[in-house]
Amino acid sequence: MPAEIKEKAAEAPERLTVGFILLLRSLGITVPIGSAIVFQQALVKIGIDKRESVYWAGRSSLIMDPEDIPVYDSAFETFWEGVIDVQGKGKAFLQEIALVTDDQRAEEENSSEQSQDVSDIINLKYSSSEVLSNKNFGLYTSEELLEAYELMKKMKLLGGIRPSRRKIPTKRKSQYPDLRRTIKSSLRTGGEPIRQQFFGTGERQRRVVFLLDVSGSMEVYAKALLRFVQAAVVGRRQVEVFTLGTRLTRITRELSSRNLDRAISATSNAVQDWSGGTKLGETLREFNNEWGQRGVARGAAVVVLSDGWDRGDSSVMSEQMHRLQKVAHQVIWVNPLKASPGYAPLAQGMAAALPYVDRFVEGHSLNSLANLAILLSE
């Protein structure tokens, strides 16, 4: 890296963040401000001396579309190494961008709209909660995990409305005549022509069932996801939670305490296979046999929180997911790895499960869980 750029970077890592993001945007790559902040924070921690570390910090935080990787690679080479043109933009242009440090320089380089975005990044005019919203759970500190939990509690984690078998009186005409109310009405009018009364169909909150993978491959995400499902359980009757690993464990009661530490402690004592092996297909079979037939999953929104790694027979996974889909209102699979650049659902268990999944979504950040909350309300 040119000495001048390196010196500026040592003074303020955000300078290089701004310059590099300006370049990526000029080449047509969309970079959200939240991602830019994560990249800047990474540079502060890792420094800029190791080329490979800087490369992967940028690629993992700034690139969302795998098709943008070749452009990113060229931009990285040019910007960080001071090498040849990128799509006709010369080294002088790159040097100028790299040293943009305030609104005045940004206005000289780009439109006022773009410079305002850059200024927002430099000044970090975003609260810590907004930064956390896009940050990968695997990078959370203990303090950030506590802050994220407070935000999780504010999410509306409710299933949608479903019709119930209970009939309720209604003034509207329906297919269910209410003979008893009709007779009572006629008695009050002395037998005069009466107005027929009807029943209507009642409504109830749809049950939500969480199946949380606690195997070793999910360890970096399970801590945050466990807090998420605990926030969903507290104060709500129509929520059930089970863990999947080498065995099935129901932890709804353990998570029902409003005291998070107490809930986590009780769960740790109840779950014997935490960070162990993975037999997703087998544990799903146990769930279907013991709980699916008893109506827990029937008509419910079932949410599987897992990376899809399964050491068992893939045919078992396919069979059990098919059984689950037939009784559930919808099956949502939340995979923390889905947001990774270049991700493809190639894991044996994931590939076997996908044909029976109604929604396949990300689960690596607060924003992804907020999107899940919206899906659950449908």
**How sure is the predictor about 130, in pLDDT bands with cuts at 50, 70 and 90?**
low
Q: Please tell me the predicted confidence (pLDDT) of residue 126.
A: 39
**163: pLDDT strictly greater than 60:** no
One-letter identity of residue 342: G
> Which segments within the chain are labelled E, that is strand?
161-170, 176-177, 198-205, 208-213, 239-244, 248-250, 301-305, 330-335, 359-362
Of 111-115, 143-147, 157-161, 301-305, least confident by mean pLDDT is 111-115
- Of residues 360 and 16, the one with the higher pLDDT is 360
Instruction: Give me 200's structure tokens.
Output: 């209507």
Q: Mean pLDDT score of the chain, rounded to an integer?
A: 76
**What residues contact 133, with CB distance under 8 A and at least 6 apart?**
34, 151, 365, 366, 367, 370
Tens-digit pLDDT profile for residues 310-342: 988 999 999 999 999 999 999 999 999 998 888
Angle between helices 69-81 and 91-98 (to 10 degrees): 80
Residue pair 247/286 in contact (Cβ under 8 Å)? The answer is yes
* Statement: residue 173 has pLDDT above 50: yes
Angle, helices 314-327 vs 280-287, to 10°: value is 30
Mind giving me the DSSP string for 62-112? H--SGGGHHHHHHHHHHHHH--S-BTTB-HHHHHHHHT--SHHHHHHHS-H
Q: How confident is the model at residue 74 (pLDDT cuts 50, 70, 90)?
A: confident
Domain 208-376 -> CATH class? alpha beta
| Strand order from edge to edge, sheet including 330-335 | 248-250, 239-244, 208-213, 301-305, 330-335, 359-362
d(CA 309, CA 351): 10
Delimit the domains of the chain by residue range: 3-126, 167-204, 208-376
Is the pLDDT confidence value at 192 over 50? yes
CA distance linking residue 47 with residue 59, whole number of Å: 16
**What mean pLDDT is predicted for residues 85-92?**
38
pLDDT at 177: 60
> Is 58:67 a contact under the CB 8 Å cutoff?
no
Confidence of residue 200 (pLDDT cuts 50, 70, 90): low
Classify each residue of 36-73 as buried b or exposed e, where b means 16 or more C-beta atoms within 10 Å of its C-beta.
Answer: bbbbbbbbeeeebeeeeebeebbbbbbbeeeebeebbe
Helix (H, G, I), strand (E, B) or coil at 348: helix
Mean pLDDT of 42-64: 81
Q: Is the pLDDT of residue 247 over 60?
A: yes
Percentage with pLDDT > 90 across the chain = 35
Q: What global pTM score does this model have? A: 0.60
Residues recorded for the chain: 378
pLDDT(218) > 50: yes
Question: Which phi and psi angles does 265 have, rounded to 5°?
Answer: -65, -45
Q: Residue 215: CB partners within 8 Å, gap ≥ 6?
A: 244, 245, 246, 273, 275, 276, 277, 278, 309
**pLDDT of 98 strictly over 60:** no
Q: How far is CA 227 from CA 4, 221, 264, 280, 367, in A?
A: 46, 10, 8, 21, 15
Please report which confidence band the pLDDT of residue 45 belongs to, taking 50, 70 and 90 as the band edges.
confident
Arithmetic mean of pLDDT, 231-237 = 87
Which has the higher per-residue pLDDT, 157 or 358? Answer: 358
d(CA 106, CA 113): 10
The span from the CA of 264 to the CA of 33, in Å, is 34
Q: Which CB contacts under 8 angstroms, 24+ apart, belong to 8-12?
A: 8/98, 8/99, 8/101, 9/43, 9/48, 10/48, 12/101
Nearest Cα to Cα of residue 245 among 281, 290, 270 = 281
Sign, CA torsion 130/133/139/141: positive
**Which of the two residues, 323 and 97, has the higher pLDDT score?**
323
Given a cut of 50, is residue 255 above it in pLDDT?
yes
| Predicted local distance difference test score (pLDDT) of residue 162 | 52
**Which one of 1-10, 12-21, 58-67, 299-308 scores highest in mean pLDDT?**
299-308
| Backbone torsions φ then ψ of 99, nearest 5 degrees | -100, 10
Tell me the C-alpha distance between 64 and 313, whole Å.
32
Q: How confident is the model at residue 187 (pLDDT cuts 50, 70, 90)?
A: low
Report pLDDT for 42. Answer: 80
Question: Is the model's pLDDT at 225 over the cut of 80?
Answer: yes
DSSP 211-247: EEE-SGGGHHHHHHHHHHHHHHHTT-SSEEEEEESSS
Highest mean pLDDT among 102-106, 130-134, 139-143, 193-197: 139-143
Candidate ranges 115-119, 168-172, 224-228, 342-346; pick with highest mean pLDDT? 224-228
Residue 299 has pLDDT above 60, yes or no: yes
For residue 195, pLDDT beyond 70: no
